[in-house]
A = this chain, B = another copy of it.
Amino acid sequence: MNFNTDFQPVTTQPQEIEEKSFKIITEELGAHPFTDEQFPIVQRVIHASADFELGRSLVFHPHAVQAGIRAIREGRALVADVQMVQVGISKPRIVKYGGDVHVYISDPDVAAKAKELNTTRAIVSVRKACEAHDGAIFAIGNAPTALLELIRLVKEGSAKPSLIVGVPVGFVSAAESKEELMKLDIPFITNRGRKGGSPVAVAVINALSILADAQGR
């Protein structure tokens, strides 16, 4: 196959595209209730979803942004509920501080344990993550059951995550699980309603890691 390479691509510089996008987002969003430290996260969520309603639905625990920045800079583990979240997270700014992104949902022992206990792999994988990592950042974009289990472990005192990013999407239990998260007095970033998803979880973490990295400069 012979490719003609002398055409003019509409857009070639990712950095330029991003800057242009962020400018559009700031203009179109207008007045909003977010603080200066929360705003870059809201902006990146809107960038990933093209959904202003979703951006406006974000809810931050007052210490969430600083807790997330600190945890990344301390090299705390990141735990993703599903592979889509894991692969979406930009690794260099995590690895640089000694952290890594883990996902347990597809582990054979998780599947076996879920079958044994007649429960979901999402629930068992959250338990495994809490056993493996103290003070981890959790990024839950898909499974309300994972978020509900994490909330339960926090309440009973067996899990002490440094930050919970809980933004599952869907029609059954997603909104409810996020309302439960909002009742906790530990650092969380979540949103109201049914919307959410892997790209939202990824956008929040990537925005936090950019803030964390900028703080070191």
Residues on A close to B: CB < 8 A?
A: 1-5, 7, 9-12, 14, 17, 20-21, 24-25, 47-51, 83-84, 86-88, 117-120, 123, 127, 130-131, 144-145, 148-149, 152-153, 156, 158, 169-174, 176-177, 193-199, 202
Contacts and interface: CB of A to CB of B under 8 A. Distances in A.
Given A4-B156, A84-B198, A156-B4, A171 B21 contact: yes
A67 B25 CA distance: 37
Contacts of A4: 156
Copies of this chain in the oligomer: 2
Q: Is the interface of A mostly helix, strand, loop or mixed?
A: helix
A4 to B, nearest CB: 7
A2, A149, A199, most chain B CB atoms within 10 A = A199
